[in-house]
Amino acid sequence: MSDERNTGQQDLDPVAPQHGSPEARAAEAAEALAAEGGVVTARAVRARSGVRMTVAAEAARVWNERESQAALVPEPPAAVQARLGAVWREAFTLARGEFEQSRAGWLAKVAQAEAERDDAAEEIERAEAERDEARRETVTVRKQAAQAAAAAAEAAAGERSRADKAEARLEAVEAERDRVIGERDREQGRREAAENEAKRLEADLSAARESIRAVKEQKN
């Protein structure tokens, strides 16, 4: 009996409900009963949560008082409703305008990046064509140098000089190709960054729409 009196006294103490505590279970039971359309009473809360009657009664009292206070809140006047509608329209228009402006800017950047990527691709194609031509020229020069070597050492040396020059040109073309490829990769990175920013702006617009919808629902 002494333990039961002490426990009952603890139930009456104004201790904040903890997760999984009798108070929390009783509060959850009250919310569940209300959501199901039932009457929130101490007996119903106790049956639902399995807590002591004192805890159930307190949870039922708190829930009913809160609902009673909420029911006393009047509908906003027509002027307030009109102002809320104007604020909502203004916020939506502003958010939409900012999004469209930002989106247009990033789309322009994406288009510019794509154009630069195409230009880089053309540069690469030209560089590869020059490389192939230089390779063919190198093969030809080497054949001519080999044929000239049998005729005269001086002519062969001259042909080898042409071959060396062709190889130097090939190296220069390959270096230019590597530079253009590197520029293309950097442009690809900038394009991906622009696309990611456009996606982020789309997400911001969606969030703004959700906020506006929530405000509208609260007004209703």
CATH number of 86's domain: 1.10.287
Nearest to 122 by CA among 180, 175, 178, 179: 180
Q: Are 173 and 130 in contact (CB under 8 A)?
A: yes
Same domain, 112 and 63: no
Q: What pLDDT sits at residue 24? A: 93
pLDDT tens digits, 75-122 = 667 776 777 777 777 777 787 778 778 777 877 888 788 888 888 888
Q: Do residues 114 and 129 both lie within one domain?
A: yes
Task: Tell me which of 43, 71, 99 is where a domain ends.
Answer: 71
User: What pLDDT was estimated at residue 41?
Assistant: 93
Tell me what pLDDT residue 63 has: 92
The pLDDT assigned to 30 comes to 93
Cα–Cα distances in angstroms (integers) from residue 74 to residues 45, 77, 78, 133, in the given order: 29, 9, 12, 86
In terms of domains, do 147 and 52 share one? no
Segments of the chain scoring below 70 in pLDDT: 1-19, 70-76, 80, 148-150, 152-160, 163, 219-220
pLDDT (0 to 100) of residue 15:
35
Asked if residue 170 lies in contact with residue 135, where contact means CB atoms within 8 angstroms, the answer is yes
The predicted pLDDT at position 157 comes to: 62
pLDDT in tens, 146-161: 776 667 666 556 656 7
Check residue 110 and give its pLDDT: 81
> Residue 108: in which H helix or E strand, if any?
helix 78-151
**Statement to judge: residues 38 and 143 lie in one domain:** no
Based on the fold, state whether residues 61 and 83 are members of the same structural domain: no
Whether residue 184 is found in the same domain as residue 95:
yes
| Same-domain status, 27 and 133 | no
Using the 3D structure, point to which of 17, 44, 71 is the last residue of a domain: 71
Task: Indicate the length of the chain as a whole number.
Answer: 220
Same domain assignment for residues 30 and 103: no
Q: Are residues 55 and 108 in the same domain?
A: no
One domain for residues 201 and 105: yes
> Where among 71, 95, 127 does a domain terminate?
71
pLDDT for the residue 52 = 94
Q: Are residues 111 and 17 in the same domain?
A: no
How many domains in the chain? 2
Query: Which domain covers residue 190, as residue numbers?
Result: 78-219
Instruction: Indicate if 88 and 67 belong to the same structural domain.
Output: no
